Amino acid sequence: MECVKIVLLAIFALASFTGKTESATDSKLVCYYDSRAYNRPGNGKFDIPFLEPALQFCTHLIYGYAGIREDNFKISPLNEPLDINKQNYRHITDLKRKYPGLRVLLSVGGNNDVTGEGSEKNLKYRTLLESVESRLAFVNSAHDLVKNYGFDGLDLSWEFPENKPKKIRNAVSSWFSKIKHKIVGESVVDEKAEEHKEQFTALVRELKNVFRHDGLLLTVSVLPNVNSSVYFDPRQLAPNIDFATLEAFDYRTPQRNPKELDYVAPLYELLDRKVDENADYQVRYWLGGGLPANKLILGIPTYGRAWKLNDDSGLTGVPPLLTDGAADPGPYSNEAGLLSYPEICSKIATPKEIQAGYLGKLRKTNDPTKRYGSYAYRLPDSNGENGIWVGFEDPDTVGNKAAYSKAKGLGGIAIVDLTLDDFRGTCSQDHFPLLRAAKFRL
């Protein structure tokens, strides 16, 4: 008996080592790689060789991002010096030789191809959908680009209009606004949303018809704050996509919400917040709408959103809180109100520093409920300055989300993105601690 067990264990170990086991182990781990990180300063600079310790865990690598030409609606590289001249497209797909199971996709959009403002913002992403000819131009050019560089497929991180952010008003104007809303309804972001939803389904079908012959993959990423119920029809998309990734985060950002901070990527609904601003709601929308669970991927961010705390923010740190807007950029990620995971972990007080009175470090609050996410903060000093609050994912909360994905029978999870995880292993000895945490709970 013992002997049989050992033999079975050995077979299992061999099978998982050679990557041949299906079922339980075939959860997808989709890794996003935003190539803009090449231009970050100092230790933030990320080049393709840094990917290697991650690729043993990733089943799919999504290279971001290509864009769309406004004049002819063809897909085109957004960073030719890097993508083409420095041959990043080639180098990224060459990784498949070393990691034969890895599928590498090119993604278009991803909030990296932003044009225009107000109602004109990213207009080309809607105009393209509106005519058969422009869709065809896009489909053919995408097929060519993907094939020429040896990608396994295309991901559509389509830049649809975002929801209006929540406004903070004082009591009187809030009362007026309630009356106004009763009369005119919520302000409409996109009057042709219903058509755009149908046309997007058509684009996906047309792409798949061309891709199918070459066995190319087609996936969809739902960008943060793009309303799924407005733009995506899960049942109609299902037959033509390999999977959809929900970027279920950035429900609050310092840019969109400069006056009130809150949890940025809650798994479940919180009291007194919009019912649909959490991952679980989004998952239920897509499953209820007809997408098979194994085609749904839950996206997890590797960065935190950081605001300034001031004297009006109170002393508890518990969100929501009044704030003065975006915290200063981190030294490596170099973007106001955003901190990479290594930038956050280096700011959090160690047990020794806590004993010594924090010494200017941040106080971390874990999430024992496993529902809302972690945060860390430092109250302002006696001049009302240097206060900061950051909401983020740590290995525990990432693990919780991976466990959620598994419990719901989803297709897997996505890490968005690798360049903001601790790719140098500065927090602990491990490189990519968030990616690893996801892997070990899937």
Ligand X SMILES: *[C@@H]1O[C@H](CO)[C@@H](O)[C@H](O)[C@H]1NC(C)=O
Neighbouring-strand partners of residue 9 = none
Three-state DSSP class for 24?
helix
In the complex with ligand X, the residue whose CB is nearer, 233 or 276, is: 276
Least CB distance from residue 197 to ligand X, whole Å? 10
Q: Would you list the DSSP string of 133-170?
A: HHHHHHHHHHHHHHHHTT-SEEEEE--PPPPPPPPP--
Q: Is 169 in the site for ligand X (CB under 6 A)?
A: no
Q: Is 229 in the site for ligand X (CB under 6 A)?
A: yes
Please state the φ and ψ torsions of residue 244, each to the nearest 5 degrees.
-120, 135
Stretch that binds ligand X, among 17-25, 57-65, 272-280, 381-389 (CB under 6 A): 272-280
* Closest listed residue to residue 202, CA positions, set 136, 146, 142: 136
Measured from the CB atom, the residue of 24 and 275 that comes closer to ligand X is 275
* Residue from 274, 314, 350, 356 in contact with ligand X (CB under 6 A): 274
Minimum distance of ligand X from residue 149's CB (angstroms): 36
**Rounded Cα gap, residues 437 and 402, in angstroms:** 8
Please report, for residues 32, 44, 110, 264, the alpha-carbon distance to residue 50 in angstroms, rounded to integers and kept in the order given: 13, 11, 22, 27
Of 317, 280, 245, which Cα lies nearest the Cα of 32? 245
Interacting span for ligand X (CB under 6 A) from 65-73, 175-183, 269-277, 421-429: 269-277
Tell me how far, at minimum, the Cβ of 229 lies from ligand X, in Å: 4
Report the residue from 94, 276, 353, 396 that binds ligand X according to the rule CB under 6 A.
Answer: 276
Of 337, 362, 332, residue with least CA distance to 349: 362
CB of 162 to ligand X, least distance (A): 9
Smallest gap from Cβ 160 to ligand X, in A, equals 12
Binding status of residue 227 toward ligand X by CB under 6 A: yes
**CB of 149 or CB of 281, closer to ligand X:** 281
Q: Does 277 bind ligand X (CB under 6 A)?
A: yes
| Backbone phi, psi, residue 187, to 5° | -60, 140
Stretch that binds ligand X, among 23-31, 270-278, 340-348, 390-398 (CB under 6 A): 270-278
The answer to whether residue 165 forms part of the interface with ligand X (CB under 6 A) is no
CA angle in degrees (0–180, nearest 5) for 364-368-370: 110
Write the interaction track for ligand X spanning residues 110-149; mark x where CB under 6 A is met and - where it is not.
Answer: ----------------------------------------
Name which position in 48, 95, 123, 230 contacts ligand X (CB under 6 A). Answer: 230
* Options 4-12, 151-159, 210-218, 274-282: segment touching ligand X (CB under 6 A): 274-282
To the nearest whole angstrom, how small is the minimum distance from the Cβ of residue 273 to ligand X? 10
Tokens 């500065």 correspond to 426
Give the residue among 165, 248, 239 at the shortest CA–CA distance from 201. 239
| Interface region with ligand X, contact rule CB under 6 A, candidates 225-233, 255-263, 323-331, 377-385 | 225-233
DSSP string of 166-225?
PPP--HHHHHHHHHHHHHH-SPPS-TTHHHHHHHHHHHHHHHHHHHGGGT-EEEEEE-TT
**Residue 276 beta carbon to ligand X: minimum distance, rounded to whole angstroms:** 5
Strands (E), 21-167: 28-34, 60-68, 75-77, 103-109, 153-157
φ/ψ of 307, rounded to 5, equals -120, 165
- The CA distances from residue 143 to 34, 211, 422, in Å, are 21, 7, 34
Provide the minimum distance between the beta carbon of 387 and ligand X in the complex, in angstroms, as a whole number.
Answer: 28
CB of 206 to ligand X, least distance (A): 25
Which is closer to ligand X, CB of 95 or CB of 287?
287
Of 421, 428, 346, give the one whose Cα is nearest residue 51.
421
Residue 163 in contact with ligand X, rule: CB under 6 A: yes
Spatial separation of the C-alpha atoms in residues 377 and 387, rounded to whole Å: 7
Question: Which two structure tokens, joined as six digits, stand for 278?
Answer: 């959490």
Q: Which is nearer to ligand X, 165 or 331 (CB)?
A: 165
189 binds ligand X (CB under 6 A): no
Q: Which stretch binds ligand X (CB under 6 A): 79-87, 205-213, 271-279, 407-415?
A: 271-279
Contacting positions for ligand X (CB under 6 A): 163, 227, 229-230, 274, 276-277
